[in-house]
Structure 1
Amino acid sequence: MIDTQFLNEKATKFKSALKKVKQIMDRGSKEFVETPMYPDRVQYYMIIAYDELDQIMCHLLKEILNIKKKENCIEDIASQDIFSGKVSRALIDFYNFRQNIFKTKFNYSPEQMFFAVKNILDNLYDQFIPELASLVKELKSKEPQLKIPVNLKKVNEQAKAVKSAVKKIQTFLNYSYDEFQKNPLFIDRTRYFLVVAIDSSLWICRHILRKLKLPTKDCFKTLSEKGIISLETGEKMSLFASKRDEFANPQIDIDTEELYKIIKDDLEYFLKFLKEISKAIFKDVKK
């Protein structure tokens, strides 16, 4: 899902850095070349702008092409014809500019820098943000519509944490109860991952209730009363939540037989909770 808040923040920082560059470049090539501080400042702000731009492109790369990268995404996006030819060429120029800065160990001549930066600036400053906004609008229109206006990115992050914790706990079910109860590490890790699953489930639960402007006390019970999750799931999740502090406190001795029975019989309710929440969040799509 496109994270518009993230993109807005990055685009704002990108435009702010380029604006500082433009203020210097607008003084003309003669003053730029003859004022030693100008090339240094321009180089500094261009690197800042590049880093913000690269984060934008990595997000787009993930959402459009399902390619997950944390950096060096500008060249990839530029080669996909996602933006206009003018902007795509400027992106390549920006990529090459940054590469050359590091290759030359920050020894670009002022004349070379002025020409290179002006070319990038002329093609990106006024055109990139409108094209980005248009692209984001198009991508958002293709996303699933939500019945509940949640922050889907953060909900997904918490859901992944729940699934990961459940998967780790399930590994302990490969052992018999006798083996489980004799191993303090199994018990300790089970308690820890249960707390992770409970906390992330509670975050999702409270987030949904806040979006619906409902009280968050007895969170899972409220969700079940509102028909967002089933009564059975609500009862099981409420039971997990009531035991959260007990699981989290290492000074409290746990009945290992009860703990093993809980993860054997009821662990699946974390996944049922996520499935029911997902169904409640997304609008039905007519075929």
Structure 2
Amino acid sequence: MATKKKKTFKISLIVEAFQNLEKSYVDLKKHVSLPEEEFVNNKLVLDKVRIDFNLAFESCMRVCRHMSSVLGLKTSSKDCLVKLAQHIGMKEVEKLQRFTEFYFKYRDLKEAVSPKELYRFLKENLVMFKEFARAVVEFVKETTGNYLLIDFDLLNEKSKFIKDSVKKVDFVLRQGLEEFKSKPMYYDRVKYFYQVAYDSLFDICKHLAPKFGIKKFGDDCLSKMVEAGIIPQEYYMDVFKLTNLKNKLISTWEVPPEELYESLKELNPKFEAIVKEISKSLKKLLEERSVKR
């Protein structure tokens, strides 16, 4: 009889939720930094605060629902944060309880919360979002030993997507250029799987870049990894060409079959090679962190 797979924390879910929390928190902090009179009398600000307060609370709830399921805690919307906080040993649970009660009072339009009351409450208690997130992150790090919050399930999944996509593109390329040109379905097939491979590699980059200390990046994530030495410098042009081809394929411009075929012959092997280099750098990073601890 097969054993039931043990539930584990989904690191990406927790990280993504708290990133969303951070965005809402920053906006809320900016709003409550206004003079009270300006806050109270500015309808636009009050509308934005309502949206950000809801988004911030829901970000915490998303984490709470997930962790409660993993930990076997029976919770409801109104007590989830408090029960989880108690379980993980968070300080100021009573303050979090009052914070939660205020939120539901504020959310329930039947119970009016004046702008002045809202302003003063957030001014004093907004930090509870930060405290909750900090306590959760520390608990997850300590209980899993995953101090960098690396989602290995995500990395393995994306690596598999890359490997499978590279194989499918290779199959088409082995048919030869003339066969490739004569069958439009081959063009569509390699175009699709190339994009799957690239997007998967980019997802790996997005997840790991902050772990390596790369704080600011966008579409240039892979290039930033080359600059930081995570991907060796010798891959600089490969990364440039991979990105350039991806941009061509998603644009309205049609890449000629001959050009696409030759580009893929050159670039398709680079995906797994780059993944291996990132893996080496990650292993080194984890070893360094292990020694420091």
TM-score, normalised via structure 2 length:
0.51
The question of whether the paired residues in 1 share the 8 Å contact of 2:195 and 2:246 is answered with yes
Shift of 1:52: 1.7
The question of whether the paired residues in 2 share the 8 Å contact of 1:50 and 1:94 is answered with no
Amino acid paired to 1:113: A
The question of whether the paired residues in 2 share the 8 Å contact of 1:168 and 1:193 is answered with no
RMSD over aligned CA atoms reads: 5.6
Deviations 1:217-245 (A, max 9, x none): 8974983xxxx56x7xx75x456336434
What's 1:285 paired with?
290
Shift of 1:201: 7.5
Residues 10-21 of structure 1: matches in 2 within 5 Å? 10-17=24-31
Structure 2: how far apart are the matches of 1:91 and 1:210? 35
The question of whether the paired residues in 1 share the 8 Å contact of 2:158 and 2:203 is answered with yes
The question of whether the paired residues in 1 share the 8 Å contact of 2:28 and 2:49 is answered with yes
The question of whether the paired residues in 1 share the 8 Å contact of 2:162 and 2:201 is answered with no
The question of whether the paired residues in 2 share the 8 Å contact of 1:246 and 1:252 is answered with no
What's 1:240 paired with?
238
Q: Quick one: which of 259, 262, 265 aligns to 1:254?
A: 259
| Equivalent residues, number | 237
- Consecutive unaligned residues of structure 2, counting only runs of 5 or more, are 1-13, 68-75, 86-91, 216-221, 249-254
- Consecutive unaligned residues of structure 1, counting only runs of 5 or more, are 27-37, 68-72, 102-107, 147-151
What's 1:53 paired with?
53
Deviations 1:51-107 (A, max 9, x none): 32333334434556646xxxxx97464453536334424423432442x42xxxxxx
Shift of 1:185: 0.6
TM-score, normalised via structure 1 length:
0.51
Amino acid paired to 1:13: D
1:166 aligned to 2:162?
Answer: yes
Structure exhibiting the larger radius of gyration computed from Cα positions: 1
What's 1:126 paired with?
124
Structure 2: how far apart are the matches of 1:89 and 1:219? 44
The question of whether the paired residues in 2 share the 8 Å contact of 1:11 and 1:52 is answered with yes
Shift of 1:280: 3.7
Q: 1:174 to 1:8 in 2, by over 3 A?
A: closer
Structure 1: how far apart are the matches of 2:82 and 2:227? 51
